[in-house]
């Protein structure tokens, strides 16, 4: 291993002065500017924020939350999850169940039950829909369902010390299996079609401009709140251990730490964040179906984080906006080329931009060292990268300790 500085940086403030200013601006934009531009400014004005844009930005903010969650687990802990789409979809499905119950008897079949159950000739709600009438229970479940699944899965995986690509691949298998399960009508989640056609949330009509704006503001606040929380987490002692685990897990263990609780905690937090993002996503987009669990979606979350810059927190948010912004433009005007662009992005970012957009900006502003905040980790390096520097192929890697 290359020798690394052992000087411990002192814990700095949560955000720098400039950081706080930027944060306040973002807060203002979300809570005041956007609502005013959308609701108050007349439609024909050039400053009017269209409903389409509100929906799009709201959706992208949900994605940004996912990217943030991915950054915590991948950028800071070095664990690449290819199953985060599952947690996102689970949060979405919990919310979707509540929204389906809110339709009441206004569905196509005018029944108490959701339409798809009438269609399947079911007479009563299945047991797992028991809590879907209560909003409070729904909010709790949005946190608990992805959290519990992540906790159980993570416990077994991390206890067995599954890591690296193996972990990635089994998380991918997990979301793939869940997708197959949710595609079945018998599972009770609407099968192929999932949930759609929502009417109300908290008995308020969902398709109004006011409601859309409310959801937008809530999403924005959640994103900013999660950002601050994540910032605090990675700056804390807990966060430092995470980064140590990422860079040299064996050494962390030799220092007397058990990595399991650290990994498990951040993994669960990350899953919960994704679940919340999914729950905010569904009422804004108006549909949830098992396609959200496809492995491709989960991998896309990773590319948002990578484009923005891993282990920077702000990077993944920026990345989510860049990639999804490009997606909404390209899929409309050049649908043929979107996949070329996305595929190319995966290749270019991994080959030429290991630190993403944030890394580029830092280099442009005078080298990575100059601008690195005290709470920020050295650029994303995984244990595997360290192994690569020693020019040992990973499969037959002799542990560094043995060689030394």
Our finding on whether 404 is near another protein (CB under 8 A) is no
**Residues 320, 326, 329, 332, CA torsion sign:** negative
Which two tokens mark 299?
Answer: 């991998």
Our finding on whether 161 is near another protein (CB under 8 A) is yes
Restricted to residues 383-402, the positions that interact with another protein (CB under 8 A) are: 384-385, 387-388, 391-399, 401-402
Taking CA atoms, 170 is separated from 14, 89, 104, 163, 221, in Å, by: 35, 18, 39, 10, 33
- Residue identified by tokens 């993994």 is 267
Q: How far is the CB of 392 from another protein (least distance, A)?
A: 7
Q: How far is the CB of 185 from another protein (least distance, A)?
A: 10
Q: Which of 274, 253, 272, 254 is nearest to 262 (CA)?
A: 253
Binding residue for another protein, selected from 13, 156, 228, 363, defined by CB under 8 A: 156
CB 41 within 8 A of CB 49: yes
Per CB under 8 A, the segment of 136-144, 295-303, 314-322, 325-333 that binds another protein is: 295-303
For another protein, give the closer residue by CB, 206 or 264.
264
For another protein, give the closer residue by CB, 139 or 322.
322
Strands 287-288, 204-205: parallel, antiparallel or unpaired by DSSP? unpaired
Restricted to residues 213-252, the positions that interact with another protein (CB under 8 A) are: 250
Is 335 in a helix, a strand, or coil?
coil
Our finding on whether 201 is near another protein (CB under 8 A) is no
For another protein, give the closer residue by CB, 14 or 253.
253
For another protein, give the closer residue by CB, 242 or 349.
349
Our finding on whether 303 is near another protein (CB under 8 A) is yes
Distance of CA 28 to the CA centre of its chain: 23
The contact pattern for another protein, residues 308-347, with x = CB under 8 A and - = no contact, is: ----------------------------x--xx-xxxxxx
Binding residue for another protein, selected from 354, 361, 372, 373, defined by CB under 8 A: 354
CB 148 within 8 A of CB 154: no
Binding residue for another protein, selected from 170, 287, 330, 361, defined by CB under 8 A: 170
CB 104 within 8 A of CB 63: no
Find residue 204's DSSP bridge partners: 201
CB 138 within 8 A of CB 94: yes
Taking CA atoms, 167 is separated from 21, 74, 306, in Å, by: 39, 12, 18
For another protein, give the closer residue by CB, 279 or 349.
349
Which two tokens mark 87?
Answer: 């947690």
Per CB under 8 A, the segment of 101-109, 161-169, 238-246, 326-334 that binds another protein is: 161-169
Per CB under 8 A, the segment of 226-234, 262-270, 296-304, 315-323 that binds another protein is: 296-304
Q: How far is the CB of 387 from another protein (least distance, A)?
A: 6
The single-letter DSSP state of residue 132 is: T
How many binding residues for another protein (CB under 8 A)? 58
Q: Which of 97, 139, 94 is nearest to 116 (CA)?
A: 97
Determine the Cα–Cα distance for residues 354 and 348; give it in Å rounded to an integer: 9
Which two tokens mark 404?
Answer: 């030394």
Q: How many CB atoms lie within 10 A of CB 36?
A: 13
Q: How far is the CB of 6 from another protein (least distance, A)?
A: 22
Q: How far is the CB of 84 from another protein (least distance, A)?
A: 14
The contact pattern for another protein, residues 246-285, with x = CB under 8 A and - = no contact, is: ----x-----------------------------------
- Residue identified by tokens 């280099």 is 363
Binding residues (CB under 8 A) for another protein: these are 74, 80, 156-157, 159-162, 164-166, 168-170, 172-174, 176-177, 180-181, 183-184, 250, 295, 299, 302-303, 306, 336, 339-340, 342-347, 349-351, 354, 382, 384-385, 387-388, 391-399, 401-402
């Amino acid at each position: 291993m290359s020798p690394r500085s052992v000087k411990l940086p002192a814990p700095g403030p949560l955000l720098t002065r400039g950081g706080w200013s930027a944060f306040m601006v973002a807060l203002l934009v979300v809570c005041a500017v956007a609502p005013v531009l959308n609701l108050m400014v007349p439609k024909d004005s050039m400053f009017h924020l269209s409903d389409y844009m509100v929906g799009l930005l709201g959706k992208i903010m949900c994605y940004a939350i996912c990217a943030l969650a991915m950054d915590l687990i991948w950028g800071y802990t070095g664990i690449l999850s290819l199953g985060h789409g599952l947690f996102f979809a689970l949060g979405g499905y919990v919310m979707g169940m509540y929204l389906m119950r809110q339709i009441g008897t206004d569905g196509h079949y005018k029944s108490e039950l959701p339409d798809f159950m009438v269609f399947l000739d079911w007479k009563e709600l299945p047991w797992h829909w028991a809590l879907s009438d209560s909003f409070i229970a729904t909010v709790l479940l949005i946190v608990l369902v992805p959290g519990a699944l992540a906790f159980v899965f993570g416990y077994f995986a991390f206890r067995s010390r599954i890591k690296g690509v193996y972990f990635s691949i089994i998380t991918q298998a997990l979301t793939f299996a869940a997708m197959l399960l949710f595609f079945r009508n018998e599972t009770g989640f609407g099968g192929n079609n999932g949930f759609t056609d929502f009417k109300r949330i908290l008995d308020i009509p969902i398709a109004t401009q006011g409601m859309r704006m409310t959801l937008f503001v809530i999403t924005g606040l959640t994103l900013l709140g999660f950002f601050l929380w994540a910032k605090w987490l990675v700056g804390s002692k807990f966060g430092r251990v995470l980064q140590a685990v990422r860079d040299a897990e064996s050494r962390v263990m030799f220092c007397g730490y058990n990595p399991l609780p650290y990994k498990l905690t951040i993994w669960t937090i990350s899953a919960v964040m994704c679940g919340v993002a999914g729950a905010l996503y569904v009422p804004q987009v108006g549909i949830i179906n098992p396609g959200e669990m496809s492995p491709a979606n989960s991998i896309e979350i990773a590319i948002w984080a990578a484009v923005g810059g891993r282990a920077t927190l702000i990077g993944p948010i920026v990345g989510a906006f860049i990639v999804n912004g490009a997606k909404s433009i390209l899929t409309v005007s050049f649908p043929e080329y979107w996949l070329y662009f996305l595929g190319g992005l995966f290749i270019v970012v991994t080959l030429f931009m290991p630190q993403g957009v944030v890394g580029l900006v830092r280099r442009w502003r005078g080298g990575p060292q100059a601008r690195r905040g005290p709470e920020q980790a050295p650029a994303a390096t995984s244990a595997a990268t360290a192994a690569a520097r020693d020019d040992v192929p990973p499969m037959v890697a002799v542990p560094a300790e043995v060689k030394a």
